[in-house]
Amino acid sequence: MSMLDGFKTTVLETPIHELDPRVKMFMLASVTAMAIMFNKVVPLLVISLAQVPLVLLARVSREWSRSMRGGMIFALMIFGMNLVSRAAYAGWTVDAEMVRVSVAMALRFVALLTTFSLFFLTTSPDKLSLALESMRIPYEYCFAFTTAIRFIPIIAFEAQAIADAQRSRGLELDRGNLIERLKKYVPILTPLIVSAIRRSMELAEAMESRAFGASKRRTNLYTLELKPRDYVAAAALVAALCISVLVRGVV
């Protein structure tokens, strides 16, 4: 569950937190585009490392490091699956090019995980909802999306609590083969699903008691306004995209 720690919103006063959420959405899209654009180790490593100063500036290095530790398992899985599939296609022979491409795919995942973690760590669901509404997305979809984001850390915490409770009752999750371990997670998934359903029913009742959807025209207490630092950040992202396109044409 440590990977999900990188998606819990932090409330801090840093230049990254204070950026307009629309600019951070553009940053998310830009980094994603640059990561997909390259399939070599060096450019993807540069994209990943270039985000580290932003993490330090946002003062979320501890949460980010937790998500990285949890994500390393998936990065190793991506590396292994790419290497095995390419080796199988080539007649079970492994060369340096296969290893290079597999490492690049794992680095692409790390770059994407970093930018998504940074986005959700520094963007509150309320501001994200305002950004989506400003893009003319219906409020019902905005509410559903932001509510799902709010529930992710809650469900992760409940899953960890249920797993600890089952371990205290003698359930050994770390023993046995893969099939046996999957079967042992049934006592965790069952109460977790029941708890999620109960929580969703409570949310539905709370929404109904507050007449959700009764008014077609909604108003907000806060409005989003782009500031000079937002324009500077957007210009830097555009420049990074242009440089990436030029570099992609060369390498």
pLDDT tens, residue by residue, 209-225: 988 877 777 778 788 88
Q: What are the tens digits of pLDDT across the range 5-19?
A: 667 788 889 999 999
Whole-model pTM over 0.75: yes
Q: For residue 28, what pLDDT is reported?
A: 94
**Mean pLDDT within 154-162:** 85
Q: Do residues 120 and 9 make contact, with C-beta atoms less than 8 angstroms apart?
A: yes
The alpha carbon dihedral of 245, 44, 109, 236 has a sign of negative
Q: Is the dihedral of CA 227, 230, 234, 235 positive or negative?
A: positive
Tell me how far apart the alpha carbons of residues 13 and 175 are, in angstroms, rounded to a whole number: 45
Per-residue pLDDT tens for 177-214? 778 877 888 888 889 999 989 998 999 899 889 888 77
Residue with the larger pLDDT of the pair 249 and 71: 71
| Residue 2 pLDDT level (bands cut at 50, 70, 90) | low
Q: How far apart are CA 87 and CA 183, in angstroms?
A: 31
Between CA 89 and CA 83 the distance in angstroms is 10
